Amino acid sequence: MRPAFSSPLSLLLGIAVLLLPFTVGVKEEDFKKCSQSSFCRRLRSIASKQEAAPSRTFSSPYTLASPQAVGEGSWKWPLTSSLYPEIQFELQVDILADGDGIARIRIDEIDTKTQFKRYNETAKWALVDPNPPLSSSASIKTASGKSTISYGPTSSKLSLEIQHSPLKISQLRNGKPEIVFNERSLFHMEHFRNKEVIKTEEILGDSEQMVLKGDEQDRSWFEESDVDAFQETWKRWTDSKPKGPEGFSLDLTFPGVKHVYGLPEHASPLSLPDTTGPNAYYSDPYRLFNVDIFEYLADSPMSLYGAIPLLHAHSADHSVGVLNLVGSDTFVDVRHDDDAVRTHWVSESGILDLLLLPGPKPQNLFEQYAQLTGPTPLPPQWSTAYHQCRWNYNDEDDVLTVDKKFDEHDIPLDVTWLDIEYAADRKYFEWNENAFPDPVRMLDAVASKGRKMVAIVDPHVKKSDSYRIYTDTRDLDIQVRKSDGSNYDGWCWPGSSIYVDFFNPNSWAWWTKMFDLKTWKESTNALFIWNDMNEPSVFDGPEISMPRDNIHAGGWEHRDVHNINGMLFHNQTAQALIARETPAQRPFVLSRSFFAGSQKFGAIWTGDNMGDWEHLAGETAMLLSNNIAGMSFSGADVGGFFGNPTPEMLVRWYQAGAFMPFFRAHAHIDTKRREPYLFDEPIRGYLRDIIRLRYQLLPVWYNAFHDASLTGSPIMRPQYAVFPEDEQGFAIDDQYYVGDSGLLFKPVVQEGAETSQVYFSDAEPYYNYFTNHLYPAKAHQLLTLETPLSTFPLLIRGGSIVPSRQRVRRSSPLMWQDPYTLTIALDKNGQATGQLYQDDGVGYGYINGEYIWRSFVFNGKTLKSTPKSAGSSPTEKGVVPYEDNNTWAQAISHVKIEQITILGLAKQPKSIRSDGVELTFEYKPGAASNGKKEGESSVLIVKNPGVGVVSDWEILFE
């Protein structure tokens, strides 16, 4: 989002901002590299010294005393450093009751003689329960300077081996290490000290840095003299750093793996390449520091808008994960060695709060992370359909014209968006009366077609005594403060702006009231919200954000909570939308900034991308990374935010966007209008067809969202997650599966491409979704497919039953009574399975059991529909089990299966019967699922089989 400006000063700023993207792209100099951050310089250098040191001469100065039991599943160890023996630290290890053996490691400084303490509340915001229940079965044995904790299910044989001196912690399965903490002795926690007594020590040359004889260590290995330790200046900004140096570093080693994934959000490959060592792909570490960055590089470790400090390590034998609960600026180095992947994490502040996820498979990691931070809840069903946005739709007439044009050209649409121009003088909640004289009339007109609207509400609040939002924040004393205690104001789209402190509980009820339909009278329940700029973005602040020494509730500095900040804004907006109606309806709130746990509050998008081929190609890996880190409801601006894509490129963008969980077209104010109906044929037809395909496949998407709500499973599933033992697929990040549907999609991302290559891991047949062309079962195939502009790779994996609704209406809510089609793609054994989940799509009746959830099974002789249940998988808390006669099932008891299509039958059946009634069918011979012949598959079509989506039924094939 990049708006216009009103004041002369803002106009000049606006001109600079608006011209810049179209001339030089991202200004890398506006954002710090590790070498420009004093904490990162200090702590990252420990690794370079370790590498340069003679073998076995570099060891950790940290040592543990004997453990003390805290309670069931919890122990503490006094921890000291030979660098500063007088400073006291403490290690606490907890074994969680849930998650099949999640271990939690915390280290904090205790009994400091200063008035300071380290930020220890990240878990409060990120975890569903910041103090989860602990295991009653975990046990500890201590002998010979080592503590060993045994825990987890009996079959897992997990243990945590804690070496007392020097400190090292290893998570083992069956005696084999899978995660090792402090293997390289890079753990270091800077302690609080007073500036007036700090001693400046001589920095030795590299050749002189060495461990001294005896017990004394040269502190320069871990703490070099640093003129920026207590005050740091970067460009024109000075950070007062009242607590002095409080960074910490840790190293995590993953033995026996070659691939690590995660650390979103970055525009980088899914399998993270090296940032250090002889094979370094990047020259700087991956940075986790939420920033407002436009025209970001398509391949870079630079910070973007979100930060999830989660890493997965994967091999054909096992998968493990780590969640590092830290909300401050963090850099992560990755290095692949022959025997392991080694990582080095450096953070500016906070305690060490590390959760070890045991796996042992990717699906286990998804479930374990969801148990900790919460799954993606079921969104409003309409939000999974198509969204149309640009900066900006000018007025009410423009909005209604766009709405009308979609109808005229038979293109479905669910949501129209308004960027900041709707707000009078950038005062969110206040409509520009000249452009939108009657917002309720406009919203009602859109809603009459089952559609919704979304308006932007950003966290910056115009500093004006005539603005009720500002005066409320002033009177309630809920603004972020400067280091001197005065209220902070920075420059953003409205000009001089203040920022609400959502860490302050006093802001929560007030913010909820702002969305009440009695308070915001120009709103209706058809209006939903877009939270942009919540990193937070401050145009005149360091790194286009607010100063790190700003103060939040509780006296915490902004440096401590920077990456968490946007999530709290997102959360409170979502809670406000839930509260505005009785009974409550599901909220939809789009956020740009996010952190671990943000998936509980709504969707995100990948920000201000470019409408070019390079960014189109890079979006898939970014979204896969978000998905495996729980942020499933995500997408990219279709067409690119900046630039004017060619018609060919725009078609390819739409094809990619139609297979993103969040499907929204969006564009910069300076771009040409590119609503899909504006183009001539055949381009308009291509765009119309792909949007309509999204609507036909909405049952597939809703199934995937439902699975995500239960188990944390990604909606976009990368190759390694679906086939965790196929090493050839571990680095593939340009194709993916949609939930468990069996649909395999690959976007076409090269200009002029007439063919595309798709990889199949498993020895199952695959079917072209559009042509029914069958590719016989053969593992590890790399096939070349014809992909002219009118089509793209979309295949059905053999063994899948895909539900769809072929009748597309103006908006998805109007399709709720339409019949379904089942497409059955047979596996090599002539069998297939699938599912269908449905509820009212807007409310919380499903929690009380108001839904249908059916399992479809074809065994070669019968096709059955039976109730489906979560079984042993973790389920959304409080959801009533499925019963056939629930209220929603009764409401849609008339909805039928209108067609069953079976692909790959070896021969035509003699008869097909349902409930004793002979069914008519059509059969076209072709390639069979169990054969070796490639070509158009056999097709069996049963129209109007006389069965519904609610009750049990069985169809016999003889």
φ, ψ dihedrals at 65, nearest 5°: -90, -165
**How sure is the predictor about 643, in pLDDT bands with cuts at 50, 70 and 90?**
very high
Cβ–Cβ < 8 Å for 181, 168 = yes
Give the burial string for 656-694 (b: 16+ CB within 10 Å, else e): bbbbbbbbbbbbbeebeebbbbebeeebbebbbbbbbbb
DSSP 189-242: EPPP--GGGPPPPP---GGG--PPSTT---GGGT----TTSS-EEETTEEE--T
3-class DSSP string for 612-637? CHHHHHHHHHHHHHHHHCCCCCEECE
pTM for the model stands at: 0.95
608 catalytic residue (yes or no) = yes
d(CA 638, CA 511): 31
Asked whether residue 190 carries a pLDDT value surpassing 80, the answer given is: yes
Whether 670 is catalytic is no
What pLDDT does residue 318 have?
Answer: 97
Rounded CA gap, 905 and 826, in Å? Answer: 7
pLDDT at 2 over 80: no
Burial of 447 (0-12, 13-18, 19+ CB in 10 A): middle
Range scoring the smallest mean pLDDT among 202-206, 605-609, 645-649, 688-692? 202-206
Grade residue 223 by pLDDT with cuts at 50, 70 and 90: confident
Give the pLDDT band (50/70/90) at residue 7: very low
Confidence of residue 234 (pLDDT cuts 50, 70, 90): very high
Query: Of the candidates 469, 420, 446, 605, which has an alpha carbon nearest to the alpha carbon of residue 525?
Result: 446
Residues 370 and 874: their CA atoms lie apart, in Å, by 9
Distance between CA atoms of 399 and 451, rounded to whole angstroms? Answer: 12
- pLDDT of residue 570 exceeding 50: yes
Neighbours of 887 (CB within 10 A): 12
d(CA 820, CA 804): 6
The answer to which of 187-201, 622-636, 780-794, 895-909 has the lowest mean pLDDT is: 187-201
Q: Please tell me which residue in 178, 251, 403, 532 is annotated as part of the active site.
A: 532
Task: Measure the CA–CA gap between 907 and 909, rounded to whole angstroms.
Answer: 6
Point out the catalytic residue in the list 489, 535, 840, 850: 535
pLDDT score, position 25: 74
C-alpha 203/C-alpha 221 separation (Å) is: 9
What letter would DSSP give residue 196? G
CA 641 to chain CA centroid, Å, is 20
Q: Indicate the pLDDT class of residue 883, thresholds 50, 70 and 90.
A: confident
| Residue 39 backbone phi and psi in degrees, to 5 | -65, -35
Q: What is the arithmetic mean of pLDDT over 543-558? A: 98
| Terminal-residue alpha carbon distance, the chain | 60
pLDDT tops 70 at residue 203: no
Chain position carrying tokens 């190609």 = 617
Q: Quick one: what percent of the chain has pLDDT higher than 90?
A: 90
Give me the domains of the chain, ranges plus CATH numbers: 62-191+245-373 (2.60.40.1760), 383-458+527-545+561-711 (3.20.20.80), 721-957 (2.60.40.1180)
Q: What's the rounded mean pLDDT across residues 144-165? A: 96
For residue 495, the cross-strand partners are: 492
Joined together, the tokens standing for residue 308 give 């999830």
One-letter amino acid of 467: Y
CA separation for the pair 170, 249 (Å, rounded): 17
Q: Is the pLDDT of residue 671 over 50?
A: yes
Average confidence (pLDDT) over 299-308: 98
The confidence score (pLDDT) of residue 877 equals 56
Q: Which amino acid is at 313?
A: A
Q: What is the pLDDT of residues 424-442, one digit of tens each?
A: 999 999 999 999 999 999 9
| Averaged pLDDT of the chain | 94
Q: Which residue in the block uniquely carries the two structure tokens 């003699």? A: 910
Residue 838 CA to residue 840 CA, distance in Å, equals 7
30-64 burial string, b = 16+ CB within 10 Å, else e?
Answer: ebbbbeebbbbbbbbbbbebbeebeeeebbbbbbb
CA of residue 778 relative to chain centroid, distance: 33
* Interval 843-859: pLDDT, tens: 999 999 999 999 999 99
Longest dimension (CA), the chain: 93
For the residues 362-391, what does the mean pLDDT come to?
Answer: 98
Q: Which residue, 867, 811, 862, 815, is CA-closest to 837?
A: 867
Q: For 592, phi and psi rounded to 5 degrees?
A: -95, -40
Contact 585, 380 (CB under 8 A): yes
Rounded mean pLDDT, 121-134 = 98
Contacts of 243 (CB under 8 A, 6+ apart): 114, 116, 192, 349, 557
Q: Is 61 helix (H, G, I), strand (E, B) or coil?
A: coil
DSSP secondary structure letters along 748-781: --STT--EEEEEE-SSS-EEETTT-EEE---TTE
Q: What confidence tier does 884 reach under pLDDT thresholds 50, 70, 90?
A: confident
- Torsion angles phi and psi, residue 728, rounded to 5: -65, -20
* pLDDT for position 298: 96
Question: Which residue's structure tokens are 């000290």?
Answer: 193
User: Which are the contacts of 644, defined by CB distance < 8 A and separation ≥ 6?
Assistant: 611, 671, 672, 674
Helices (H), 552-682: 558-579, 613-628, 647-657
Annotated active-site residue in 608, 762, 839, 850? 608
